[in-house]
Structure 1
Amino acid sequence: MDDATPVRQWRVPASLPAAKLAGAVLLVALGLLFADGDPVRLALAALVAAGLAGWAVRDLVAPIRLAVDGSGLTVAHGFAGHRRLPWPAVEAITVDRRPRLGLTTEVLEIDAGESLHLFGRYDLGTSPEEVAATLRAARPGTAT
């Protein structure tokens, strides 16, 4: 892949922020329903709902979590920022699989020396294994 090759991007599925916002509304509704005049219960429900809504806003403001082109990767960094990683800075691209509660979770790990970037299925909108294979194939100087 050369520098003129189009950028490939992976983003949060559109349904995810909608589900988070619906969950925030549901939490406030449940807080109102079960508060029974207790301001602490209502405040706790509102606080958790605000956190969930903030998480949804991040997905709406910066939906692209990972992008690749001939010169390197662009990864999500911080709340809604991005960091550029040129190919020489990328030391390893791996997929970590762990069984938990009868399910296997996969996480894409991009090791850039002093920083480690982790992406799950819901960050990428597809399987981390597929993304890792695409990234390895896009990396200059690697055999496919």
Structure 2
Amino acid sequence: MSGGTGMAGDERRWRVPVAQVVLKAGAAVAFALLAVLSLDDRPFLLLAGIAAAGLGALALRDVLAPVRVAADAGGVTVVTGYAGRRRVPWSSVTALRVDERQRLLLHTRLLEIETADDLHLFSAFDLGEDVRDAAAELERLRARADH
């Protein structure tokens, strides 16, 4: 089980890797320092300040809601909004799939958890492992819940 955290029984959690949180927080501090050092250059100050605030907000989200997806026999819990959580029973999950796209030199892969009224998207950066592995584990847990 790379990336995710195994739990007792048939429960599973996928979380943002700690190294990623540290990297975002460190980058936010670095941009904040650049902003302070460039007080006489207003355009650079503004850009560095915006970068620091944005990275700081992302790092804070990772601290407040490190577990992006958790699943067990009863259903799946996903992060919604900035750091909220929503519990979805398996009967309400209409689809679990991996969306892969390639544009120019960029290849993206996202885990999609679809319900009747929402679509939850998670990347490998959210889950701490390849989204295909997470999707396979979620399908396994879902299938066990059906029996």
TM-score scaled by length of structure 1: 0.87
Question: Cα deviation per residue 1:16-36 (whole Å; 9 max; x = unaligned)?
Answer: 111111111222233344x36
Range that drifts further, 118-127 or 6-15: 6-15
Q: Distance in 2 between matches of 1:47 and 1:40?
A: 11
Question: Cα deviation per residue 1:37-58 (whole Å; 9 max; x = unaligned)?
Answer: 1334313312320121011011
Q: 1:8 aligns with which of 8, 12, 15?
A: 12
Residue 91 (structure 2) pairs with residue 119 (structure 1)? no
Q: Which amino acid aligns with 1:24?
A: A
Structure-2 residue corresponding to 1:100:
103
Identity %: 43
Q: Aligned Cα RMSD in Å?
A: 1.9
Structure-2 residue corresponding to 1:63:
66
Q: Distance in 2 between matches of 1:91 and 1:111?
A: 6
Structure 1 segment 9-28 matched on structure 2, within 5 A: 9-28=13-32
Structure-1 residue corresponding to 2:146:
141
Q: Equivalent residue of 1:28, what SS?
A: helix
Q: Equivalent residue of 2:116, what SS?
A: coil
- Where does the alignment leave 5 or more consecutive residues of structure 1 unmatched? none
Contact 1:74 1:84 in 2 (8 A): yes
Q: Which amino acid aligns with 1:12?
A: V
Structure-1 residue corresponding to 2:92:
89
Structure-2 residue corresponding to 1:54:
57
TM-score scaled by length of structure 2: 0.85
Contact 1:93 1:109 in 2 (8 A): yes
Question: Cα deviation per residue 1:37-83 (whole Å; 9 max; x = unaligned)?
Answer: 13343133123201210110110111000000111000001111110
